[in-house]
Structure 1
Amino acid sequence: MHLQTLPGLFISHGSPMLAIDPEQVGPALHRLSTNLPRPKAIVVMSSHWESNAFEISSHSRPETWHDFRGFPEPLYQIRYPAPGSPALAEQMIQLFSSYDFVLHPNSTRPRDHGVWVPLLHMYPDADIPVLELSLPRQATAEQLFEIGQIIAPLRQQQILIIGSGSITHNLSELSWQDPNAQVPSWASDFRNYVAYHLKHGLYEKVLAWQSIPEVQRNHPSLEHLAPLFFAMGTGSISSIVHSSFSMGALGMDIYRFDS
């Protein structure tokens, strides 16, 4: 059976409300999935699993975790019962050990919304095995990029690799009551800088995130930008799948990485 190479992706997963109010992003995620070969498995690094050690979910049936508060009740009824894959988790542990990275199995971790909210739109049948990688707190942008490079060959085994975060993420500056609020220039300028340098293959400009204009205002903490560095490692050719903003300053971009 011929295996097809899948891209690496960076997905801005936005608010948990994306699960029931897809705006422009839900249809974009659905179109993206229908245009790709069906994955044999999906590996996601989510901004919502920060850890001290580097970990991978190894349970055969992870729970759906509603890791948020104060949202409408229907959101808490949603389940994403995709299986895990202990065998693939073990394969990845071995892969990383050959690069002197210690990847620890975690059999108790439930699936956070950074994983299941975008996958709900991409693969609503929840019938493809999904593994989650943690985001090591102490990892530099360059180390996350290297993790993406190590995992990139899995793309040739028809495994979809996703970094799930947000291109901009300052919750205190969002217009929560107005999804169509004006986009402030500090958010659009940041997003345009990142998109321009990715498109032109200037990855080093993005990895040097401290120098990106308005980075502190767009990312008061770095965990939602960090999965981008991981996704960048999976492919040297970048393209924009989708670009939009929600509630003013929340960037909802989706980027694709190919070799």
Structure 2
Amino acid sequence: MTIAAPKRRFPSLFLSHGSPMTALEAHETGPFWQQLGRTLDARHGRPEAILIVSAHTAARQPVLLAGPRHEAIYDFGGFDPRLRSLRYDAPGAPSLAREVQALTAKAGLTVHSLPQGGLDHGIWVPLRAMYPDADVPVLPLAFVPSQSPSQQFALGEAIQSLSETHGALIMGSGSLTHNLSLVFAGGQMPPIDAHELPASATFRAWWEARSRVRDWEALLDYRQQAPHALEMHPTDEHLLPWFVAAGAEGRLHAPRRIHSALTYGSLGMDAYAFGPGADSLAQALASDKC
């Protein structure tokens, strides 16, 4: 009798993707994404697929983009035209989509599936740095931005087994702080390395501190409890993918910040890892920098 080898187990991740210009002006975060891909490869091997929830792919009900192939979508305007020459042609993951639908149905959640592809900039910009050969199948999951952090967490919980059973890397992509009216307050974007606004620093520090002690009650109710929550997130679609990624690993382990960075004075570029492998991943990333 042949016994199937166990799948690799990846910690789930949340990446702040920032401006599309990160694809051309890497700043601190582009090199981190490259390092993250190398470190995951060294520790876990190449993922068999990536399920990703991006702030820029949303719907009225959860929808999987289960096409057989993907291309980069240029869902932005007013940026350097060179961005539109960058490609990310990745395979899709239709078979994983069927498994996601089965798991979510067991949890009492309805998730639809469409046989179409397309990767918004919150997906292809970081993946182009992490896996530049575009050789990992990608399954975008459009989330419902009107649903609460608790509902997003429950969506993540429903797909918790994907990493262990299917070797999938579960990711959320957004921004830890995201208020474009602050970014463009002077009429144009400030320097990428502009000094951080105090409200942004306070919010990011609060988030890391509450994560470190697993204060899920405060995190899930962040709009009431976090300092400067509404200023940092007038709408919270860029933070909600954090909760999907967190739910995919549950409440037992503390979320771990694995990258701390900022652009344009108030656009947080922090990254988090979740689950039992989060601490060791953080240690490996820190060791690789030394």
* Shorter-chain TM-score range: over 0.9
Matches within 5 A, 1:4-23: 4-23=8-27
User: What residue in structure 2 maps to residue 98 of structure 1?
Assistant: 106
Which whole-Å CA distance do the structure 2 matches of 1:66 and 1:228 have between them?
23
Please give the per-residue CA displacement for 1:195-237, whole angstroms capped at 9, x wherever unaligned. 1111111122111022211111101111001111111112233
1:9-46 Cα offsets, whole Å, 9 max, x none, are 01000000011111100111111121112111001000
| Match 1:199 to one of 200, 206, 212 | 212
Q: Residue 234 of structure 2 is aligned with which of 220, 224, 229? A: 220
Corresponding residue for residue 130 of structure 2: 122
Q: In structure 1, the residue corresponding to 2:160 is in which secondary structure?
A: helix
What does the per-residue CA deviation read over 1:111-159, in whole Å, with 9 as the maximum and x for residues that have no partner?
A: 1111111101110100000000112133111110011111121111321
Higher strand share goes to which structure?
A: 1
Q: Is the counterpart of residue 185 in structure 1 residue 234 in structure 2? A: no
Q: Which amino acid aligns with 1:233?
A: G
Could you tell me which runs of 5 or more consecutive residues in structure 2 were left unpaired when the two chains were aligned.
Answer: 277-290
Residue-pair matches, total: 259
Moved over 6 A (4+): none
Segment drifting more, 148-157 vs 241-250: 148-157
Segments of structure 1 that go 5 or more residues without pairing to the other structure are none
CA distance in 1: counterparts of 2:222 and 2:180, whole angstroms: 19
Equivalent position to 1:251, from 268, 273, 279 = 268
Match of 2:175 among 166, 169, 174: 166
2:135 aligned counterpart, secondary structure: coil
Superposition deviation, residue 3 in structure 1: 2.0
Deviation per CA, 1:40-74, whole angstroms, max 9, x where unpaired? 10010000012101100110012321000011111
3-state secondary structure, aligned to 1:18? helix
Max Rg structure: 2
Secondary structure of residue in 2 paired with 1:105 = strand
User: Which amino acid letter does the alignment assign opposite residue 75 of structure 1?
Assistant: L
Correspondence for 2:159 = 151
Matching residue's letter, 1:169: H
- 1:30 is matched with 34
The match for 2:57 is 49
C-alpha separation in 2, matches of 1:137 and 1:258: 24
Is the 2:157–2:247 contact (alpha carbons within 8 Å) kept by the matching residues of 1? yes
Q: Residues of 2 paired with 1:204 and 1:109: CA distance?
A: 36
Q: Distance in 1 between matches of 2:145 and 2:268?
A: 23
* Cα drift, residue 85 of structure 1: 1.1
Distance in 2 (alpha carbons) for counterparts of 1:104 and 1:125: 29
Looking at structure 1, the residues matched to 238 and 87 of structure 2 have their Cα atoms a distance apart, in angstroms, of 23
TM-score of the aligned structures, taking structure 1 as reference length: 0.96
State the AA in 2 paired with 1:197.
R
CA-CA distance at 1:109 after TM superposition = 4.7
Match of 2:87, SS? coil
Percent identity over the alignment is: 36
Deviates more, 1:177-186 or 1:162-171: 177-186
1:29 and 1:107 map into 2 onto residues whose CA distance is: 29
SS class of match (1:51): coil
Between the aligned partners of 1:95 and 1:234, the Cα distance in structure 2 is: 12
Compare 185-194 and 201-210 and name the one that shifted more: 201-210
